[in-house]
Structure 1
Amino acid sequence: MSEKRNAPGATGALGDQLDGGSAPTVARASVIAHCRAYAARGCFGRYWVLVIDTCPYCRRTHRHGGGDQLHPTYGHRAAHCGSTSGGRGYWLEPTTEEAA
């Protein structure tokens, strides 16, 4: 018997990709961007803003949405700077501040 293959949306894998993914669904990119998370409030309620101080591609500051949950959602984001190709992006990870 052949094994039936489902589209990513049918199995929940698409959600994995959008929520940061897992090892079987999304290969880890080598480009990592560290970011800070800020809680913001808008007309639809509270949400997270993820700020990258230095983009790994253009060295500018970028902001990405981090969801509206209790904790921010990190993961893969597309790079929207300059004339980037469609497949270029980075993984967002929280900035770790060292204690003095």
Structure 2
Amino acid sequence: MPTISDEEIRKIIMPLMLSGAKMLDKHCPKCGSPLFEKDGRVFCPVCEHRKKQMAGEMKGVEERLMEKLTQLANSMPDDLDELEKHLRVMGLIIDLLERYRSLEGGE
């Protein structure tokens, strides 16, 4: 079970408490953070924050992969052997993009 860092307590939990959210006497089974209730919704602020961070990081990777794929598509070589290598790399990038997208959807 991942532990909650002091930074997460300062940046996530304290502002949430100051905003009027209610800390419950139940804890998240994933990270051990206290669960909170706000506007009728019960949630784990630490897991939500971590999920948003991960999504942002994945989006950055996805954007870089798309840029590289576009760059490769715009610079197709005439030599057949080089073209084959080029297409193989493009196929690997497409596979990576599909994996990232399936990870995003699976969470």
Q: Which has the higher contact order (CA 8 A, sep 6+)?
A: 1
Give 1 or 2: higher helix fraction. Answer: 2
Between structure 1 and structure 2, the one with the greater Rg is: 2
The structure with the largest strand share of the pair is 1
TM, length-normalised to structure 1? 0.22
Return the TM-score normalized by structure 2.
0.21
